[in-house]
Amino acid sequence: MAPIRIYIAGSDHSSGRGVGVYADHLIQSLGKLSGIMLTDKDPDIIHYPFFDLFYPTLPLKKEKPTIVTIHDLTPLVMADRYPKGIRGTIKLLLQWYSLRSVSAIITDSENSKKDIEKYFRISPHKIFVTPLAVDDDYRQGPSAAKLKVVKSKYHLPDKFILTLAAGPNPNKNLPSLAEVTDRLGIPLVIVGKGMLKEVVKPVHPELIDLVRLQVYNHVLYPGFVSNEDFNAMFHLTSLYVQPSYYEGFGLPLLEAMTSGCLIASSNTSSLPEVYHDEAITFNPRKLKSMEKAIGKALKLSPSAKAKQISLAKEKAKTFSWSKTAKLTEQVYRTVLASVRP
């Protein structure tokens, strides 16, 4: 059987960021499959690994069977915090119109699939879930020397709560986590380049949470952190917390689980698809719930903590880029079977 010829279009979009990392790993993993040939010459299928709600990332005219990956619909789910404006609404309608003629949609979670069905009125039979995975960096335990270097480099305290947010996006629920950690008297480290943005007036609605965070003196912002250093932080922190109102998948949570870091997570959107059944979770809209969960995690006995970490590691093993690639290949074959006589 001849391999399927696949062109991954716009794979350089957002290079180095979440969606760019997805495209890079997908290309590497698909390249290892005997049934796939990656090429830009007369492909059988064109796959767009990124979909922007408010920018024309998907062409209206499609020369070949077309697949698009939609990671999440955060700005639609939390529309009150992501104002579109007239131009944004027009661009959204154009993207929606273009989406109607794709052969299939790939997304990261069952939760995102339901959102795509709801907000774009797409048939569930056209949407396929292929979960994400993590870099191998997080499977390696850092040396004592590395831990010492990272602790000094980022001026980390002996005990702290860790979370990651590319920026102060409203869905991340960072002010609530800052409030709770302040009550508990433990420093909070928020990793992410976008957290260092300068706030100017009038404040853009998407940056309001950055203003709200400025009242807290116990929060540290190390900015961008490499995978290697971030992995070391997982081994230095007391607890990784994912406080989000909404996530399309929750990759940092999976990274923490893979590295062997104790976790506590919001119980909403796609996150229950990532963490294990006995994970410590909370309602992100109730500060008391979050405070109780974090307090419980910090007070676990050594044996209870070890059990939590072990369960998280086992769940993390069910995710891999090779699995993602194989599921993606199945989507390609399903699409070809529907268009070929």
Q: What is the structure's pLDDT at 197?
A: 86
Residue 93 and residue 129 in one domain = yes
Query: Could you give the percent of the chain with pLDDT greater than 70?
Result: 96
Q: Is the pLDDT of residue 155 over 70?
A: yes
Residue 65 and residue 147 in one domain = no
Residue 45 and residue 98 in one domain = yes
Residue 106 and residue 173 in one domain = no
Q: What is the CATH number of the domain that holds 19?
A: 3.40.50.2000
The answer to whether position 299 is within a domain reads yes
Residue 128 and residue 36 in one domain = yes
Q: Ramachandran region of residue 140, left (φ > 0), alpha (ψ -120 to 50) or beta?
A: beta
Q: What is the structure's pLDDT at 199?
A: 78
3-class SS letters over the chain: CCCEEEEECCCCCCCCCHHHHHHHHHHHHHCCCCCEEECCCCCCEEEECCCCCCCCCCCCCCCCCEEEECCCCHHHHCHHHCCCHHHHHHHHHHHHHHHCCCCEEEECCHHHHHHHHHHHCCCHHHEEECCCCCCHHHHCCCCHHHHHHHHHHCCCCCCCEEEECCCCCHHHCHHHHHHHHHHHCCCEEEECHHHHCCCCCCCCHHHHHHHHHCCCCCEEEEECCCHHHHHHHHHHCCEEEECCCCCCCCHHHHHHHHHCCCEEEECCCCHHHCCCCCCEEECCCCHHHHHHHHHHHHCCCHHHHHHHHHHHHHHHCCCCHHHHHHHHHHHHHHHHHHHCC
Q: What is the structure's pLDDT at 15?
A: 46
Residue 297 and residue 273 in one domain = yes
pLDDT mean over 208-234: 95
Average of per-residue pLDDT values in the chain: 94
The answer to whether position 65 is within a domain reads yes
Residue 208 and residue 327 in one domain = no
Q: Is the pLDDT of residue 120 over 80?
A: yes
The answer to whether position 140 is within a domain reads yes
The answer to whether position 164 is within a domain reads yes
Residues of the domain holding 94: 4-133+320-336
| Overall number of domains in the chain | 2
Residue 172 and residue 310 in one domain = yes
Q: Rounded to two decimals, what is the model's pTM?
A: 0.93
Q: What is the structure's pLDDT at 84?
A: 85
Q: Is the pLDDT of residue 12 over 70?
A: no
Residue 148 and residue 286 in one domain = yes
Q: Is the pLDDT of residue 153 over 90?
A: yes
pLDDT mean over 4-19: 71
Q: What is the structure's pLDDT at 115?
A: 97
Residue 61 and residue 146 in one domain = no
The answer to whether position 94 is within a domain reads yes
The answer to whether position 165 is within a domain reads yes
Residue 296 and residue 283 in one domain = yes
pLDDT digits (tens, 9 = 90+) for 59-92: 999 999 999 999 999 999 999 888 888 999 999 9
Residue 200 and residue 296 in one domain = yes
Q: What is the structure's pLDDT at 175?
A: 98
The answer to whether position 341 is within a domain reads no
